[in-house]
Amino acid sequence: MSKKPNLLFFGIDSLRRDHMSHYGYGRLTTPHITEYAKGGVTFNKCFSPHIPTTPGYSNMLTGRDCFGTDVVGLSQSHIVEGVPVLSEMLRKEGYTTTCVGFEWNAAGRGYDKYIDFPGWGPDRDDMRAHKAEALNAVAIPELDRLAAQDKPWFLFLRHMDPHSPYLPPQPFQDMFFQGDAFDPNDKRMQKVYDFKPFGDYIGSWVPQGCTNPEYVIGQYDAAVAYMDSCIQQILSRLKYLGLEEDTIVVFVSDHGETLYDHDCYFDHHGMYDCTLVVPLIIRWKGHLPEGVRIDDYCQLKDVTPTLLDIMGIDAGVPFDGRSLMPLVRGQERTPEPEFYITECTWMRKHGWRTPEWKLMVSLEPDFHYKPQVELYNLITDPDENHNLADECPEMVECLKKRMYAWIDKREKEVGRTAPIYRNFLRPEGPFASSKEAYEGKYIGGIAEAVKLQAANKKK
C-alpha cells in the first residue's frame, strides 16, 4: 500500500454494548456488524466515563479525559484551547476529511467537508424514522467521491438510530415485540408519562395508549437492527470499491442508554453502567488479527491513540489515553480498571468505578430525588439496584478518598479546576432542591428536541 490507510469511522449515538447480539444479547440486533467484526478485534469492556454526547465524543476524538478536554456538559461548545481533535491531526498528515451529521459537536471541528442528514424524528408519511437510510443517501456518494481520489481519507459517520425517538420502519418495527402494548391493566408506563421533565417528550413518539415498557425497549432494539442492516450497505460498498485492505473500520458509541432502567426513562443520564458501556470494534483486513476479543478495561480516551498507532502516525501531542495495540499484539499493557466518571446535563454528578464498586456523588440536587450518595457492588448487584451507601460507609469513604486524590492529581497536571465543579445545570448556578430541579428541567415533544439540537449546533 503506497499511501496511509483510510479511516471509516462509525460513531453511533446511544448504542449500549449489552444490547448488541455481537456482545451476547439474546436478540439478533447486530448480525451484520457481528459478521464484519469476525475479521477484526472486539474490545469487550470499553467504557464512556464522561457522559453524555459532547464529553463522550470529546474524549473519543482527542485521546483526553475530561480534565484534558475541560468538557463535561452536553451544551459545552468548545474543547480547551490547544487540544487538537482527530480530524485536525489527520489533516496535517494529508488526509481528506468528511463529517456526516456531526457539525454542532465540540469535537466535530476540523473537517474539510460537512454533510447533514435528517436524523431525528419521523420523516415520511408512515411516521417512522428512516435515520440510517437518510445517512446512507449522503454517505455512500461521499464514499465514492473519496475513493476516487489519490489522498487518504477519513469519513466520520454519526448514526442516530439508537437515540430516541425509537421509530424504526417496517419490517423492523415489529421484529422483537409481539405482546400486548396497550393492556389497560399494565401501569408500568404511567410513571414515565407522569415524569414532568421527560413525559411529554416520550409521549410525543410512543404510540398513544402504550402501557408496556417492553414495547419501547423492543423499538430500541429494532432501531439497532435497522441501523445494522443499513450499515451493511456501506460495508458492501467499501468492498465493491476494493478498499477493504486500504481502510481501517471502527465501530464505537459515545455512551449507552438507560431505557427503563433506574427511572431514567429512555435516555442516557444517570451514571449507571447501562449508560457507561459502549462497543469498540476495529477491523483492518489483512493488517489486524481476525476474530480477536480483548477483555481488558479500556475507555473512549484510548480510541484516538489506538487508531494513530495502527496508522503509524505520531501526532506529536500528549494523550491521557493509551494505545490498545499492545493488547492486540498479545503484549502487556498496564491495566486501568478503576476510573473517574461524570455527567452534567440533566443531573450533575461524579463518581468512581472499580471492577467491584461504583460510587456516585451528586453535586447539586437530583431531579429524580435520588440520594446524594449511591454505592453499588458490581459483583453481587451488577444491575445497580441496591444502594449500599448507608450500609457500607467505610467503603464510601475509601472510594471518595481515591476519587478526590485523582481529582487533585489531574487538577495539578492540567492547571485547572475540575470541569464538573465549574459547570452547572443552569447559568444562574446550582439548583437549591430536587423539587426546584424537577420543575426547572423540561423537554417537550420531538419538535422541542429538534430545537434543542439546533441550539447546540448554533453554539
- Catalogue the long-range contacts made by 108-112 (C-beta closer than 8 Å, 24 or more residues apart): 108/57, 109/85, 110/84, 110/85, 111/87, 111/156
Q: Which pTM value belongs to this model?
A: 0.95
pLDDT at 120: 72
- Report yes or no: 230 and 133 within 8 Å, Cβ to Cβ: yes
Cell 419490517 locates to 171
Count the Cβ atoms, other than its own, within 10 Å of residue 148. 8
Nearest Cα residue to 325 out of 314, 333, 317, 336: 333
> Measured between alpha carbons, how far is 304 from 83 in angstroms, rounded to an integer?
13
| Strand, helix or coil for residue 219 | helix
Provide φ and ψ at 216, rounded to 5°: -65, -40
pLDDT at 450: 57
User: Cα–chain-centroid distance for residue 335?
Assistant: 22
> Measured between alpha carbons, how far is 327 from 370 in angstroms, rounded to an integer?
39
- For 159-185, b/e burial (b = at least 16 CB within 10 A) is bbbbbbbbbbbeebbebbbeeebeeee
pLDDT at 358: 98
pLDDT in tens, 299-357: 999 999 999 999 999 999 999 999 999 999 999 999 999 999 999 999 999 999 999 99
Domain boundaries 347-440, CATH class: alpha beta
> Measured between alpha carbons, how far is 40 from 283 in angstroms, rounded to an integer?
4
Radius of gyration over alpha carbons of the chain, in Å? 21
- Whether 6-335 shares its CATH topology with 347-440 is answered no
For 94-143, the DSSP string reads T-EEEEES-TTSTT----SEEE----SS--STT----HHHHHHHHHHHHH
Cis peptide before 171 (omega within 30 of 0): yes
User: Cα–chain-centroid distance for residue 104?
Assistant: 16
Provide φ and ψ at 209, rounded to 5°: 90, 0
> Measured between alpha carbons, how far is 27 from 174 in angstroms, rounded to an integer?
13
Cell 473519496 locates to 146
Count the Cβ atoms, other than its own, within 10 Å of residue 454. 12
Nearest Cα residue to 437 out of 359, 362, 360: 362
- Report, as ranges of residue numbers, the positions in the chain whose pLDDT lies below 70: 1-2, 124-125, 446-459
pLDDT at 389: 98
> Measured between alpha carbons, how far is 296 from 35 in angstroms, rounded to an integer?
22
Nearest Cα residue to 131 out of 154, 92, 163, 105: 163
Q: How many CA atoms lie within 13 A of 219 on its CB side?
A: 22
CATH assignment of 6-335? 3.40.720.10
pLDDT at 6: 98
Positive/negative CA dihedral, 44, 45, 51, 55? negative
Q: Name the residue ranges covered by the structural domains of the chain.
A: 6-335, 347-440
pLDDT at 454: 53
pLDDT at 126: 74
C-alpha cell at 377: 457492588
Residue 394, C-beta contacts closer than 8 angstroms, at least 6 positions apart = none
C-alpha cell at 242: 476494493
> Measured between alpha carbons, how far is 215 from 181 in angstroms, rounded to an integer?
6
